[in-house]
Amino acid sequence: MRLSSRNIRPSFCIFAILGLILLLQGITLAAETTADRPTLVIQWQRLVTDKGQTCQRCGDTGKSVRRARKQLASALKPLGIKVVLEKERMSHDQFLAAPAESNRIYLNGCSLEEILQAEVGSSVCCDACEGQPCRTVTVDGLTFETIPPELIVRAGLLVAADLLRLNDSGAAIPCCPSASGCCPKTPEEK
């Protein structure tokens, strides 16, 4: 089933959580240099054939990823967080060996589905994919073949909240959301 991004309700509470984290941490972000800024890296990998073609679902997800990067960069700039997009190409042979790895998104090394506690599935795709079962993602009971920008932004805001957490030496902890279990606990959480 292919759903449009209009079916996703915006998560305004995530912005409130970011504000609360800033307030509780007492973070001041004035005069930070670009090198000192925490970075949110969005990595997107997809099949690109020898002829430079990809399937429609990857093409549409590419548009979503670019749009989400812009939205996140705008929203996170006042917090001092830099947003970077890295696009990885999968060769035809790599795709045939692992079709579920195509159209996959990582944020600071954690997969979108891990961050959003989503389920990964598959459905048959198009000619570029040679009928292979390509990746789908189910979030909140809705299944997506093309990942909408709203899901990427939602995951990005969760990762950004963790970037604002500080370790014992006052440095940002660069990892994915605590809910996914891949972040170290702060002294307050132990």
Q: Is the pLDDT of residue 169 over 60?
A: no
> Who wins on pLDDT, 45 or 174?
45
Residue with tokens 């950004």: 160
- Residues 109-137 have pLDDT tens digits of 999 999 999 999 988 887 777 778 888 99
Q: What is the CA radius of gyration of the chain?
A: 18
* Other beta carbons within 10 Å of 149: 21
> Who wins on pLDDT, 28 or 151?
151
CA 150 to CA 62: how far, in whole Å?
Answer: 13
Average pLDDT over residues 67-83: 95
Phi-psi region of 186 (alpha: psi -120 to 50; beta: other; left: phi over 0): beta
What is the helix (H) or strand (E) element at residue 125, kind and residue range? none
- Residues 2-38 have pLDDT tens digits of 554 444 445 545 555 555 555 444 444 433 444 567 9
